[in-house]
Structure 1
Amino acid sequence: MVQAFDTKKSEQPVYIGVGEIAVSTNPLNVLVTSLGSCVAVIMLAPSICGAGLAHIALPSSRVNVEQSKGKPGYYADTAIPRLLKEMDRLYGGKRSRLLVKLVGGANIMDPNNTFDIGKRNALAIKKILWENRLGVLVEDIGGEISRNVRVNVRTGNVLVKSLGKERVTL
């Protein structure tokens, strides 16, 4: 599911769940999500006051191709192309001007690093971004604690709050 918000209708937080993608050009919107091993890929288009966020749960859609068709935001290999398509629509295809920020990828409830989902998500995302000639401006990736994320569409600031830690602005 992709949510799109225009500058006339939405003046509130936009909550993005697992596997969802949202884009906005409303300077009053704040994109909000909570992450564990999932990774938020945040794309910003500052000159048009635009932002997009994909809440990615797994690195590859090969584990469930059918689900990826209905929920492309769930997998890195389908979420990033979809988010780029939405950002291209907003920004006229000026990908070289997009700013990318990553948050999440924690090692949650996996003390032996058996699955390493957070790390695998982050690596898959960076590879796909690189293939699309996009780099990461800043990231808050890894660790062992979940994060709450708020993206201010107007400023492009990404506020990250984790239990027991100071708020960080990316």
Structure 2
Amino acid sequence: MSKIIKVGMADANVCAAPDVITTLGLGSCVGIVLYDPVSKIAGLAHIMLPDSTKILNNSNKYKFADTAIDILIKDMMRIGANRNNLVAKIAGGAQMFNFGNSSEMMRIGDRNVEATKEKLAQLGIRILAEDTGANYGRTIEFYPETGLLHIKAVGRELKII
């Protein structure tokens, strides 16, 4: 019997097949799925901001792209994932509000996606698929058994990447 592992905002968790891992309400946040296809172990981080070094209160390491991914890898290895097998899928990073000026601060979704991609590239983790940007929120479910990421959005068809 498989369980559904829920990940909250600014949080992360890991699971192994046949369990499923999910997070709700990705707006400008990015859902980062790391996956070891050999052991069928997955991790999911729901990050809110790109860079912990720019924020004074940065004690929650899961909130930031630059710190959450490192912790997620350690947590996955602890339950049997092989670091060399890891691949990624990402979703979210929407521009939820249209601001008249496109100031850098307001591009939080884009910046979250960029920071996620930079961090994964530094770590040598390949992104297999992504569903990012646009102007709508997403809920994602990852199935380690198959390696498929289901992306749900209100008023849209189920997307599977």
Q: What SS class does the counterpart of residue 48 from structure 1 fall into?
A: coil
- Superposed, 1:85-100 pairs within 5 Å as 85-91=74-80, 94-100=82-88
Measure the CA separation in 1 of the matches of 2:135 and 2:55: 27
Offset, 1:106: 0.3
Offset, 1:47: 1.3
Asked if 2 retains the 8 angstrom alpha-carbon contact of 1:110 and 1:116, the reply is: no
Structure 2 partner of 1:40: 31
- Residue 112 of structure 2 corresponds to residue 131 of structure 1: no
- Residue 62 of structure 2 corresponds to residue 84 of structure 1: no
Measure the CA separation in 2 of the matches of 1:110 and 1:20: 27
Offset, 1:65: 4.6
Residue deviations 1:37-83, cap 9 Å, x none? 000110111211211000000001124354x33x2110111101111
Amino acid in the other structure paired with 2:75: E
Structure 2 partner of 1:152: 143
Measure the CA separation in 2 of the matches of 1:169 and 1:144: 19
TM-score normalised to structure 1 length: 0.85
Measure the CA separation in 2 of the matches of 1:111 and 1:168: 28
TM-score normalised to structure 2 length: 0.89
How many pairs align?
Answer: 157
Measure the CA separation in 1 of the matches of 2:56 and 2:66: 11
Gaps of 5+ in 2: none
Identity of aligned residues (%): 32
- Residue 24 of structure 2 corresponds to residue 30 of structure 1: no
- Residue 47 of structure 2 corresponds to residue 56 of structure 1: yes
Structure 2 partner of 1:13: 4
Structure holding more strand per residue: 2
Amino acid in the other structure paired with 2:144: V
User: Where do 4+ consecutive residues of structure 1 move more than 4 Å?
Assistant: none
